Amino acid sequence: MKTHDGPHGGVNHDDDCYGCRLKGKNLTLASSATPTRTRHQPFRPMVQPSWESGVTGETRRDGSFMPYLDKSLQPIGVKEMADDRTRLEAIRHKQLHDPNFGKETQ
């Protein structure tokens, strides 16, 4: 056992220390090459939560589904509805309680 300024920072170790032999040859190991407890797990990309993928709307008495539509007549997604719920619910409330909504004027 001897002490030196090797990769161990002055810690006692044997002459056949693998890290010291690599350092003597000007070789180093990348940290990604060393095993850890969590390295064996595969990388999983983040997926969008499933609740964000749906379309907002109402289910009618007959079982049919009527989606809420935006100004361009495209269905409003659940995420868009959740992000702007206050404004969209106010518009919906106004349409439900306006006696002239949906009547054509000439």
> 8-59, pLDDT tens digit by residue?
555 555 566 777 777 777 777 677 676 666 656 667 777 777 777 788 888 9
Judgement on whether residues 25 and 58 belong to the same structural domain of the protein: no
Judgement on whether residues 24 and 58 belong to the same structural domain of the protein: no
Judgement on whether residues 92 and 59 belong to the same structural domain of the protein: yes
pLDDT for the residue numbered 9: 57
Report if residue 75 sits inside a domain: yes
Report if residue 36 sits inside a domain: no
Report if residue 19 sits inside a domain: yes
Report if residue 49 sits inside a domain: no
Report if residue 66 sits inside a domain: yes
- CA distances to 94, 98, 101 from 56, rounded to whole Å, are 18, 22, 21
Residue 71 sits in which domain range?
Answer: 54-97
> What band does 6 get if pLDDT is binned at 50, 70 and 90?
low
Q: Are 58 and 66 in contact (CB under 8 A)?
A: yes
